[in-house]
Amino acid sequence: MPHNAMAPGSVIDGFVIGEKIHTGGMATLWRVTRADIDQPIVMKVPTILEGDDPTVIVGFEMEMMILPRLVGKHVPKFYAMGDFASQPYLVMEYIQGYSLFTLIEKAPMPAANVARIGAKVARALVDLHRQNVLHLDIKPSNIMIRDNGSAALIDFGLSRHLFLPDLLEEEFRVPMGTGPYIAPEQVMKNRSEPRSDIYSLGVLLYYLATNVRPFGLPQAQSQLKKRLWRDPVPPRKIIPDLPPWLQEAILRCLEVDPADRYETAARLAFDLSHTDQIKLTARAQKTKRDSLPVSWKRWFKSIGEDGGPIQPVRQSNLAPIIMAAVDFTEGQEALAEELLVNVRRVLATMPGVRIACVNVLKLNRLTITYTLDDEGRSVHVQRLVELRDWARPLELGQERITFHVLEHMDPAEALIEFASSNHVDQVLIGARASSSFRRFLGSVSSQVVARAACTVTVVRAPRALADVEAEEEKMIDKDCA
């Protein structure tokens, strides 16, 4: 292949080659420019050795299939590509920020920082999985933190698009991934499981929190398989003051069976953004690994697994997050009650659903941060108590329901922000009886309907027909006046 002739100053399809910024085993990265593109861009060129190493080529082909189909801030923007017939390359956005790889020297990091980074990466995974792509090589060097703080995933050479042929699966008979980070099912050659990315993120968080890799640096295939039956040392054994919620989150990511992990990246992002609401189980308290007989049992089970053909599944909506926006204004009790009825209906039809109960504490311009009532009680705490009381008839455990009081000057804005940053799948919100006042100013619910990115269900309290008719008559009178 002629790409060895690449050098600063040469031109490929209108791209002027600049400085070489990275040389890796699979590819080299060059800064490039083209007159019509005013963003900083890079050209990725596969390193093709004598004898056409198939891993490099097929990996690059996968990236050529997947990257042009991806959109959003959590991936590099795609600009152009060149075919293998002449000069293979991909031109993409140069991401300004830093690589998570540079953070490793700061490990062990404080729990709050680990959670913050984990939430960022989980959010990037939500966006990727929604586009039907699994990354399958989540590790520090494949994650960039942009200058604006959001995470961007790079290098899709081992990725899988669920609606495109998987060239890697057909080409290779060995598991593909990066030793310390690869998920157990990937070791068994299943490349269709979105929760593999959650596992790898769990390894990353473990490493950042403890400065220890949970499964070491395996070199051989047999060492990779060990993670199918031997559980890692609990992080709290290494860092005794590591909070139980972080151990809970990390070990849940690292469950061998994907069904025992977080159902979706959105659920993980949610927990890492609301760490005080993480439901603690026996995982949180573990201080040693499982006993050898327990491990042996898993080992016997693991040798039966053959990693046969697996059909990809679309799984995002098996585990939705539903937000219930509850209003405690005086006189709206019937509406809050009706909202509860609707939440029950959702629970009955979707067993895997998780409910986030949200109430907005409206601040006025003069309030600074904390709100006390006349007797000096915290209004915030009082609202939280009311929220819990409202939801009590649902009888949901902590793993199914969370409570949030948002303090904001603009209730609609607060609800829309919460729905977006927590990847809420559906909002249930009450609307008060219509009035001409609200017709002009726009109610909170109508703003949420107009601006939220997800499904919004507007709930109204049932009213007597006579009331409705009286209201309508009043409005007609007004319109005629």
Partner 1 sequence: MRIGFLSDIHGNREALDACLAHGARTGIDRWVFLGDLVGYGADPQYVVDCVVRHMETGALALLGNHDQAVVDGLAEGMNEYARAAIEWTARQLDPAAAALIRSLPMSILEDDRLYVHSEAHSPKSWNYVTEILGAERSMNATEARVTLCGHVHRPQLYYMSRTKPPGYFLPQAGTGIPLIGRRKWLAVLGSVGQPRDRNPAAAYAILDTDRNEIAYQRTPYNVEKAAAKIHAAGLPQMLAARLFIGR
Nearer to partner 1, 81 or 187 (CB): 81
- Spatial neighbors of 328 by CB under 8 A, at least 6 apart, are 336, 359, 383, 386, 390
**Window of 58-66, 181-189, 260-268, 440-448 that interacts with partner 1 by CB under 8 A:** 58-66
Give Cα 47 to chain centroid, integer Å. 32
Quote the least distance from Cβ 130 to partner 1, whole Å: 15
Quote the least distance from Cβ 307 to partner 1, whole Å: 17
Q: Is the backbone of residue 136 left (phi > 0), alpha (psi -120 to 50) or beta?
A: left
Judged by CB under 8 A, does residue 241 bind partner 1?
A: no
Judged by CB under 8 A, does residue 164 bind partner 1?
A: yes
Q: Which helix (H) or strand (E) holds 478?
A: helix 465-480
Judged by CB under 8 A, does residue 57 bind partner 1?
A: yes
**Angle (CA) 181 184 188, round 5°:** 120
CA–CA distance, 408 with 209 (Å, rounded to integer): 33
Given 166, 305, 407, 417, the residue binding partner 1 (CB under 8 A):
166
What does the per-residue mask of binding to partner 1 show for 68-107, with x meaning CB under 8 A?
---------------xxx----------------------
Quickly tell me which residue has 């990257």 as its tokens.
Answer: 67
Judged by CB under 8 A, does residue 54 bind partner 1?
A: yes
**Window of 102-110, 169-177, 291-299, 429-437 that interacts with partner 1 by CB under 8 A:** 169-177
Judged by CB under 8 A, does residue 471 bind partner 1?
A: no
Judged by CB under 8 A, does residue 127 bind partner 1?
A: no
How many binding residues for partner 1 (CB under 8 A)? 17
Judged by CB under 8 A, does residue 61 bind partner 1?
A: yes
Residue 147, classed as helix, strand or coil, is coil
Nearest to 424 by CA among 152, 73, 126: 126
CA–CA distance, 412 with 405 (Å, rounded to integer): 13
Nearer to partner 1, 8 or 307 (CB): 307
Footprint on residues 334-393 left by partner 1 (CB under 8 A): none
Judged by CB under 8 A, does residue 307 bind partner 1?
A: no
List phi, psi (to 5°) of 31: -70, 135
Quote the least distance from Cβ 87 to partner 1, whole Å: 12
Q: Pairing between strand 455-459 and 426-430?
A: parallel
Given 9, 163, 174, 374, the residue binding partner 1 (CB under 8 A):
163
**Window of 6-14, 138-146, 160-168, 336-344 that interacts with partner 1 by CB under 8 A:** 160-168
Judged by CB under 8 A, does residue 64 bind partner 1?
A: yes
What is the dihedral sign for C-alpha 330, 332, 334, 335? Answer: negative
Find out whether the peptide bond into 312 is cis, omega within 30 degrees of 0.
Answer: no
Query: Which two three-digit tokens encode residue 201?
Result: 């993120």
**Window of 168-176, 230-238, 407-415, 435-443 that interacts with partner 1 by CB under 8 A:** 168-176
**Window of 5-13, 133-141, 164-172, 211-219 that interacts with partner 1 by CB under 8 A:** 164-172
Nearer to partner 1, 84 or 296 (CB): 84
Query: Which two three-digit tokens encode residue 394?
Result: 């649902």
For the chain, how are helix, strand and coil distributed in percent, rounded to 5? 45, 20, 40
Give Cα 344 to chain centroid, integer Å. 26
- Spatial neighbors of 446 by CB under 8 A, at least 6 apart, are 431, 438
CA–CA distance, 461 with 459 (Å, rounded to integer): 7
Judged by CB under 8 A, does residue 155 bind partner 1?
A: no
Nearer to partner 1, 26 or 340 (CB): 26
Quote the least distance from Cβ 83 to partner 1, whole Å: 5
Quote the least distance from Cβ 57 to partner 1, whole Å: 7
Judged by CB under 8 A, does residue 169 bind partner 1?
A: yes
Question: Taking the C-alpha atoms of 413, 415, 420 and 421 in order, what is their torsion angle to the nearest 10 degrees?
Answer: 100
CA–CA distance, 252 with 255 (Å, rounded to integer): 5
Cross-strand partners of 29:
22, 44
Nearer to partner 1, 64 or 119 (CB): 64
Quote the least distance from Cβ 370 to partner 1, whole Å: 52
Nearer to partner 1, 61 or 127 (CB): 61
Footprint on residues 170-209 left by partner 1 (CB under 8 A): 170-171
Buried b (16+ CB within 10 A) or exposed e, 230-267: bbbbbbbbbbeebbebbbbbbbbbbbbebeebbbbbbb
Given 40, 165, 216, 307, the residue binding partner 1 (CB under 8 A):
165
* Residues contributing to the site for partner 1 (CB under 8 A): 54, 57-58, 61, 64-65, 83-85, 163-167, 169-171
